[in-house]
Chains A and B, each alone.
Chain A
Amino acid sequence: MNKKILSLVLAATLTVSMLFGCGNTSTGQADAGEESISDETIVDNAAENTEETASEGTITLSMAFHNTEEFYEESIVPIVEEFKQIHPEVKDITYTTLSGMGDEQQVTRLTGGQYEDIVLVPTILLASEWSNYFAPLGDASEMAEKYYYGDYMQYEGQSYGIPIGVVYEGLLYNKKVLEQYCDGNVPKTLDELLDDCAKLQENGVIGFYTNAGSIWTMRYWDNLAITMSDDPDYANKIVDTQEPWAEGSSLRDSADLLARLASGGYLEPDVVTADQWDISLTSLGSGQTAFMFTGTWALSQAQDHAVEAGFSADDIGFAPFPYKNDVNADNKLNLRVAQDVFLGVNKNSENLDLAKEFCAFFCERVSLAMGMNEIMIDGGKNQPDLAFLQELDYVQTYTSPARDSKIAEMAGIAGIDVYNFDGFLLDYVILPVLNGGEPEYDKLNEAWKKNF
């Protein structure tokens, strides 16, 4: 009998503790999500007690960004302080790092409903979903007049994100290696580029480090198609094209160029293993690799790696991607001014207007520290290392208009992440070539046709 009573008591305790457990968890979550409110309350109470604190701010905003805590201390805190001077009612802006968190996890955070006032917009989120999580930041055409790519995240005429900076897309190269094997010539035409790669290969230097295994690094090759097409709106044409990789299309030409580099043996030997970003930068910095095709945001990172490898930061340079021949002042190379990631504002934010203001304030100021150019069309500053680009008479810059939201949906149906991460280039272009075959454009076209 005693045993029975004991087991009943135990069971009851367990059940009750389970319920307590639930209670605690939900309160905990509410605390995390509504930090601003509880802080506010505390400060309010404090303000009632002493008059000095009344002049201090009462509002706490929160932001989540993909940079590290160190970057926050160095570069974000000064921006926050500046903002607090304009808005004394702001007490603090808390920071959550999304460093190392993939897009999938970021979307899960959003769908879970517990996310910060100012937060990165995950690249994989469909445009039609933005309004479920983010507040509109203004009329898209007005934003476009003010910022580069100000209208890029537009849906039904409203902008949902502000870019944190703009970059150029082109070649990062190791000057030392080019001096040693290619007479110091930075390739200005396609033939020069291929010549350089051949010479480098003879000397055991990797021509291009694509990082294809990391997938996101491949998006520059699709953007190259826009660059090659001379039509800034080229990407959106895919919506009405049944065979985007047909003979003669720019998408095919850019992929063909990649295939040519692969068949020449100019790419890094292991294109499949994932997450080789740091290794690729070390390889470039230490002179084992000559070129990488990426955005200028990576320039400072590559320079840091060069210094770590015992070389000088000046050894790493940037050049427009030489995708054609006979380049001169009349036949200019297009250089894409590219968007990077975008910050949006939580539509359920307690302080929506302040959050919107801080979002713009932050995006206008953080770019240079991130290794990017500023987003303001009037008076935005460029990276000092890249000022020379404006003086080159054979280069012209361009920006792309907002991307059609249908592309992502069609990409989903086709199973081809075109104009997003472009992992398909590895499976359909690079690997078939490396395994002795041809790029599989027919399969790509066939998959895309499922949309029609």
Chain B
Amino acid sequence: MAKMNRLAAKRQREKNKIIIAFLIVPLLFLLYFTVYPVVTMLLYSFTDWKGSATPFSVLGVKNYVEIFTTDTYRNIFKTASYYLVAGIVQQLISLFLAVIMGKALRGSGIFKGFIFFPFIMNGVAVSMVFRMFYQIGGGLDVLLKAIGMEQCIRVWMTNPVTSNICLAFIYLWKNVGYSFLIYLGTMQSVPGEYYDAAAIDGAGMWMQFKEITFPAIKMIIGMMVTLSIVGSISVFDIPYVLTNGKNSTNSFATTLVETAFTYSRYGLACAMAIIMLLLAAIVMVFKNMVFKEENDNGYNR
């Protein structure tokens, strides 16, 4: 018996060795390419590093204070709010579309393709297309003219509010397909018997959604909302291509790039990246706290 135990222990040790041997390479990669840059970024965020080998001095939290006390940097949060609203609207639209497409309608396959297509297109290409769309005499103006709303036509990009709305719309348009697909997938995993039973009991479509679909996809909704909040902070390609972040359309990411590359203030840019990371982390933790509890008490398939 003791011998067998020893043998088992030996086998276990060897197994561990193999596991460690195989893990060590990916772990090193992870450490070098993910952990190391984040740690150095954190260290640089307390300095006035200019991006190369030249010496730098330690500033303490001065970079962080500057971000919250400078107008240009504070505007980032205002810009993010436009994308946040767009993100929430996007969830509603995609949820609505997913509920409709979830029923076996004729031609729904084609529509699914249409809805998902914008998401697989390159962000820069989409932004360039929309640049033409919003130009004077561009697609939007033509469209408004065609439906008799000429009085609404304006120079979309010169006003900070309209330009931000226009940009946030691109974000909505592009990402609707993604959340749509996730919702649709989750909904289709709900067993059809539940709906049949509900239908026999006389539940209408709204009742079915409220009592069966919604509880089943609540977790996913939480996840998608979290993702859209994080996405609204980190949006980059759209303002960069359309406006270079001018006219109060600067997002976290465009301002970060400008700070690092145009002004060579890599230390400050690192501080921005850390704040961005923290915001994302806070949202994630908050989401986990809210939805974990509900998951325990709520619907569980």
**Cβ contact within 8 Å between A104 and B257:** yes
Q: Which of A71-79, A267-275, A388-396 lies on the face that meets chain B?
A: A267-275
Interface size on B, residues (CB 8 A): 34
**Cβ contact within 8 Å between B54 and A427:** no
- Is B108 located at the chain interface by the 8 A CB criterion? no
Q: A11-B22, A126-B50 are in contact. Are A273 and B262 (CB under 8 A)?
A: no
Closest partner residue, chain B, to A408 (CB atom) = B264
**Cβ contact within 8 Å between A129 and B135:** no
Q: How far is the CA of A212 from the CA of B246 in the complex (A)?
A: 10
**Cβ contact within 8 Å between A271 and B22:** no
Closest partner residue, chain A, to B21 (CB atom) = A15
Q: How far is the CA of A125 from the CA of B71 in the complex (A)?
A: 25
**Cβ contact within 8 Å between B244 and A18:** no
- Is B134 located at the chain interface by the 8 A CB criterion? yes
Q: How far is the CA of A269 from the CA of B159 in the complex (A)?
A: 12
**In angstroms, how far is the closest chain B Cβ from the Cβ of A15?**
6
Q: How far is the CA of A103 from the CA of B70 in the complex (A)?
A: 25
Which residues on the B side are within 8 Å of A12 (C-beta)? 22
Q: How far is the CA of A273 from the CA of B51 in the complex (A)?
A: 30
**Cβ contact within 8 Å between B70 and A213:** no
Q: A132-B52, A273-B134, A435-B159 are in contact. Are A215 and B244 (CB under 8 A)?
A: yes
Q: How far is the CA of A212 from the CA of B158 in the complex (A)?
A: 11
Which residues on the A side are within 8 Å of B163 (C-beta)? 272
Q: A104-B257, A272-B163, A435-B158 are in contact. Are A213 and B243 (CB under 8 A)?
A: yes
Q: How far is the CA of A433 from the CA of B166 in the complex (A)?
A: 21
Please pick, from A129, A273, A411, A434, the residue contacting B50 in the complex, using a CB distance under 8 A. Answer: A129
Which residues on the B side are within 8 Å of A103 (C-beta)? 261-262
Q: How far is the CA of A426 from the CA of B264 in the complex (A)?
A: 21
Which residues on the A side are within 8 Å of B160 (C-beta)? 431, 435
Closest partner residue, chain B, to A128 (CB atom) = B54
Which residues on the B side are within 8 Å of A434 (C-beta)? 158
**Cβ contact within 8 Å between A15 and B243:** no
**Cβ contact within 8 Å between A270 and B244:** no
**Cβ contact within 8 Å between B264 and A412:** yes
- Is B20 located at the chain interface by the 8 A CB criterion? no
- Is B290 located at the chain interface by the 8 A CB criterion? no
**In angstroms, how far is the closest chain B Cβ from the Cβ of A180?**
22
Q: Which of A135-143, A236-244, A415-423 lies on the face that meets chain B?
A: A415-423
- Is A298 located at the chain interface by the 8 A CB criterion? no
Chain B positions 220-265 with a Cβ under 8 Å from a chain A Cβ? 241-244, 246-248, 257, 261-265
How many A-B residue contacts, CB cutoff 8 Å?
A: 99
- Is B35 located at the chain interface by the 8 A CB criterion? no
**Cβ contact within 8 Å between A272 and B25:** no
Chain A positions 244-282 with a Cβ under 8 Å from a chain B Cβ? 269-275
Closest partner residue, chain B, to A106 (CB atom) = B261
Q: From B157, B163, B262, name the one whose CB has the most chain A CB atoms within 10 angstroms.
A: B262
Contact with A along B5-31 (1 / 0, CB 8 A): 000000000000010001001000000
Q: A132-B53, A269-B136, A415-B70 are in contact. Are A274 and B244 (CB under 8 A)?
A: yes
- Is B188 located at the chain interface by the 8 A CB criterion? no
Q: How far is the CA of A270 from the CA of B70 in the complex (A)?
A: 27
Q: How far is the CA of A30 from the CA of B98 in the complex (A)?
A: 51
Which residues on the A side are within 8 Å of B50 (C-beta)? 126, 128-129
Closest partner residue, chain B, to A125 (CB atom) = B264
- Is A98 located at the chain interface by the 8 A CB criterion? no
Q: From B155, B158, B246, name the one whose CB has the most chain A CB atoms within 10 angstroms.
A: B246
- Is B131 located at the chain interface by the 8 A CB criterion? yes
Chain A positions 77-116 with a Cβ under 8 Å from a chain B Cβ? 103-104, 107, 111
- Which 4 pairs between the two chains have the least Cβ-Cβ distance? A412-B263, A104-B261, A272-B157, A274-B244
Q: A128-B54, A270-B158, A273-B131 are in contact. List 7 more A-B contacts (CB 8 A).
A: A111-B51, A129-B51, A132-B53, A270-B157, A272-B243, A274-B246, A443-B71
- 19 of the cross-chain contacts (CB-CB < 8 Å) are A104-B261, A124-B264, A128-B50, A129-B50, A129-B264, A213-B243, A213-B246, A270-B155, A273-B157, A274-B131, A274-B241, A274-B246, A275-B241, A413-B265, A415-B72, A420-B262, A426-B247, A434-B158, A435-B158
